[in-house]
Amino acid sequence: MTEEKKKIVDNFGRAHTYLRISLTDRCNLRCFYCMPEEGIELMEKSNIMSIEEIIALATTFRDLGVDTIRLTGGEPLVRKNFGFLVEELAKLGVTLKITTNGIMLDKYLDLFKKVGLKKINLSLDTLDKAKSVFITKRDYFERIMKNIEMALEMDMEVKLNIVLIKGVNDNEINDFIELTKHKKLAVKFIEFMPFKGNKWDWSKGVSEKEILEIVSEKFGDIEELKNPKHSTSNNFQVKGHIGSFGIVSTITNPFCDECNRIRLTADGKMKNCLFANSETDLLTPMRNGEEMNDLIINAIKTKKFSRDGMDVKMDAEHYEQNRSMISIGG
């Protein structure tokens, strides 16, 4: 009788097959909803996973049933030896994805095509250059837009991530929808979420209901698409458009029931949930030569059902003990 293969399953019977790895806490933008106004204390180099350690931990997770790995940051493309890392991870036989701000995307598109990395999520919160400078504190707008076009021309599956904030970019919802008319891309609107230091206030948020009302008022018929299993967004398409749009309704309509995701921070801490303020150190035990499988399997048993226990409302005492978004990994 063969031994049953170990899996990462929480106390609610949810198998975890999707790993998000933050490669660095460094970024070449300074978006205010991601990075606190006062900045962050960057991790010591010795505390950050080496390329070899990332590959080793990714292999362990793969052996425990993970079949999808998304690379995040900070900005993952600023990580030294990023190209080598992607080539090595591609050998694991998992689906590779990436979330990036797109500034350096042109340097890696050929590599992505070579290794089969097709799914690119790109953070783009505005289609207005001046506003882009205001949000990101940097002037890379034209370069990013050019790289998006390049990725589409190479048949990459591009998804634009837009964090909606009232009074900042909520007047651009239909401008983003317009992009889906002739471009085969997905637009993903994300409800403004609370993290340490980002001065969260839901009065600045835009709900799924509001987004749908704004879109339908201009474009009319909206088709609700079938969401893929474990989807973190509700997905839609305007009739006659080539592309689609989705809404990540973390605040107004959480999607935790089928959660299959784990996060690994750049300093090797396993987070069961984006909102978790507790973590499991994997890097230190690995460096000490300890067995990792049981540590990971036991860590997932502490996962709460929804939003790390904030089932009813977002609790400032809870989320202010979490990391800032940039040090968690987008």
pLDDT one-digit tens code per residue, 120-152: 999 999 999 999 988 888 889 999 999 999 999
Residue 119 to residue 90: CA distance in whole angstroms: 13
Residue 238 maps to which CATH number?
A: 3.20.20.70
Is residue 68 within 8 Å of residue 230, measured between CB atoms?
A: no
Q: Is residue 6 one of the residues assigned to a domain?
A: no
Total domains in the fold of the chain: 1
Say what the pTM is. Answer: 0.89
Task: Let me know if residue 2 belongs to a domain.
Answer: no
Compute the half-sphere exposure of residue 167: CA atoms within 13 Å on the CB side of its CA.
5
Task: Specify if 7 maps to a domain.
Answer: no
CA dihedral 299, 300, 302, 303 (to 10 degrees): 140
Residues 287-319: tens digit of each pLDDT: 999 999 999 999 999 998 887 656 645 555 554
Strands 157-164 and 186-191: parallel
The token pair that represents 255 in the structure block = 């999607």
Whether 22 is covered by a domain: the verdict is: yes
Range of the domain at 142: 18-328
Q: Which residues of 156-192 are buried (b: 16+ CB within 10 A; e: fewer)?
A: bebbbbbbbbeebbbebbeebbbbbeebebbbbbbbb
Regions of the chain with pLDDT less than 70:
1-4, 32-42, 193-200, 308-330
- Residue 9 lies inside a defined structural domain of this protein: no
Angle value at C-alpha 196, between 193 and 198, nearest 5 degrees:
60
